[in-house]
Amino acid sequence: MKVNINQGQIMAKIDGAWKKALPLLSNEILRDCNEFCKFDMGTLHDSAQTASDFSEGILRWSTSYARIQYWKIPTAYAPGTQWQWCEGAKGAYSQRWNDQANALMRMNL
């Protein structure tokens, strides 16, 4: 019996599945991160929807004060929000994100 494995074809299929899964997963992760994001008038929170690149898995909050709010000011405006909001979401939801990534990959393979 002879088995031929085409690694290039396998990697292309995996890459294609990931490219389909990543925007969906990124959007879910953004929603979870925004759950912990500081919220006053909503500008910081809402900026991520337009500034992020979901197809590349890049989440970005784009206001002039986003960096300071994330790294340097350990206060929150609304209950349940925090500085370093992505770390809070990661602690709460990383297992679910992993499970979703696996399910999306299986669905797209």
Q: Is residue 75 over pLDDT 70?
A: no
**Residue 73 carries which side chain, given as an amino acid letter?**
I
CA–CA separation, 42 and 10 (whole Å):
44
Q: What is the mean pLDDT of residues 88-109?
A: 95
Picking from 49, 18, 44, the residue whose alpha carbon sits closest to that of residue 31 is 49
Query: Per the confidence metrics, is the pTM higher than 0.85?
Result: yes
Per-residue pLDDT tens digits for 32-48: 999 999 888 889 999 99
